[in-house]
Amino acid sequence: MSQANPERITIIINGVRQITADTGVSLFQTLKTNKIFLPSACGGRGICGFCKCRVEGDGGTLRPAETARLKPEEIQNGFRLACQVIPENGLNITLPDNLLQFREFETELTEIRELTYDTKWLKFHLIHPGEIHFKSGQYIQIQSKPYPGVEAAVSRSYSIASPSYQVVDIELIVRRVPDGICTTWIHDHLTVGERVTLFGPMGDFYLREGNGEILMVAGGSGLGPIAAVLKDMAKQGNLRKTTCFFGAVSRRDLYYLEEMNDLQNALPNFRFVAVLSEPESCDQWEGSTGLVTIPLQDHLRTADASTLQAYLCGSPGMIHACLRGLRQFGIGTDRIFFDPFA
């Protein structure tokens, strides 16, 4: 595959797919142009190190950003950062198969609703392609648009809050991140009727087969994908014992209580427990109080930990705290599921 200074070159992906590209353009950008979306937190500036892929052929000299971000064994095995590779000749590259399943969706925002003071629910209607096929609990990336003070578009990941049987719309629950580029756009600038680009689906957060109890812990916007999994279970008549703890600070952080009540009616072996760590006196809260890890530990004392599966979705702090508790009861990482971007 040697071509002397070609203007157009050929890139073969996983030995099965062939694309042509202009020389002088980064591999990351070339793949994006061809609707192949590598993970990236920095938009291809060589900072995050997420866009790694295996390159055979002349990918050019290893750049300092790569020696800093790739492990020696990865470099030895031909891994490069796609954003730093500017091919001048044809290449063979290897990507994880699931990256080739990602698709770009052109959508229209059809509905937006405030769930709490800092959390919004959004519904996007798929225009092209018109359907999405995914597993309940997976996530998708949304591409923001420039707004006053922010010139660049960024992509951020959000868990899908709708169940997999809903194929023509995608629902997301987005909590405002202080000073976040994308959540500021969603909360303050995005309006109904706007066209929005989504990429996905991706992620390993979905319900696994099994007979043991399902334990779910959610915090913040994390109740969205968990509700999606539960709706799927209700549709399938799943009878596994299931308990969901939803941790929040005070009543103003709670949402989806009616939906959870409906799911308790639809799933006979499902129990929902909201836990407030700092209920205010005006909350008149009579439910569980304290950190969500406390009722979780109490629950684990009487559960059959040998078959239990745990599904965690919320802030990284909550997930780390739950992981410590679950490990104390001998629940291995092969039975604990959460998103890698947590």
Partner 1 sequence: MPAEKNPLNVNNFKPGNLTRDGFLGRDARPIFEIVRQDADALARCGVTPEEVADFLQSLIEEGKKGLEGPVIHGSRVIQIHWARGMLPCPYGEPRLHSKISAVVTDPSTGLTLRFSQLGVHLIREHGFFGGTGSPYRLEPEEIVALMRQPFIHRKEE
Of 122, 134, 119, 121, which Cα lies nearest the Cα of 166? Answer: 134
342 touches partner 1 by CB under 8 A: yes
Window 288-327: residues binding partner 1 (CB under 8 A): 291-293, 315-318, 321
Cβ neighbours for 71, distance < 8 A, ≥ 6 positions apart: none
Question: For the chain, how big is the Rg over CA atoms in Å?
Answer: 22
Structure tokens at 160: 């899908």
Looking at beta carbons only, is 206 or 338 nearer to partner 1?
A: 338
Please give the Cα distance from 27 to 33 (Å, whole number).
10
Single out the residue of 30, 77, 34, 29 nearest to residue 53, CA to CA.
Answer: 77
Instruction: Report which of 182, 230, 191, 241 is spatially closest to residue 207, judged by C-alpha positions.
Output: 230
Give which of 237, 242, 226, 234 is closest to 263, Cα–Cα.
Answer: 234
Does 116 bind partner 1 (CB under 8 A)? Our answer is no
62 counts as binding partner 1 under rule CB under 8 A: no
Count the Cβ atoms, other than its own, within 10 Å of residue 331. Answer: 21
Q: How far is the CB of 236 from partner 1 (least distance, A)?
A: 28
By CB under 8 A, tell whether 179 contacts partner 1: yes
* Residues contacting 333, CB < 8 A, separation 6+: none
Q: Which of residues 128-157 bind partner 1 (CB under 8 A)?
A: 146, 149-152, 156-157
Q: Which is nearer to partner 1, 182 or 331 (CB)?
A: 182
Residue of 184, 242, 288, 309 interacting with partner 1 (CB under 8 A): 184
Dist CA 322 CA 225 (whole Å): 18
Q: Which of 12, 48, 95, 99 binds partner 1 (CB under 8 A)?
A: 48
Binding string, residues 207-246; x marks residues near partner 1 by CB under 8 A = ------------xx--------------------------
The answer to whether 247 contacts partner 1 (rule: CB under 8 A) is yes
Please identify which residue in 277, 283, 285, 323 interacts with partner 1, judged by CB under 8 A: 277
DSSP string spanning 202-249?
Answer: E-S-SPPP-SS-EEEEEEGGGHHHHHHHHHHHHHHT--S-EEEEEEES
- Least distance (Å) between residue 178 CB and partner 1: 5
Residue placing its CB nearer to partner 1 in the complex, 11 or 216: 216
Total Cβ atoms within 10 A of residue 11: 22
Q: Which CB atom, from 27 or from 321, has the smaller least distance to partner 1?
A: 321
Among 25, 47, 100, 234, which residue interacts with partner 1 (rule: CB under 8 A)? 47
Interface with partner 1 (CB under 8 A): 41-42, 45-49, 64-65, 68-69, 146, 149-152, 156-157, 175, 177-181, 184, 219-220, 247, 249, 277-278, 291-293, 315-318, 321, 339, 341-342
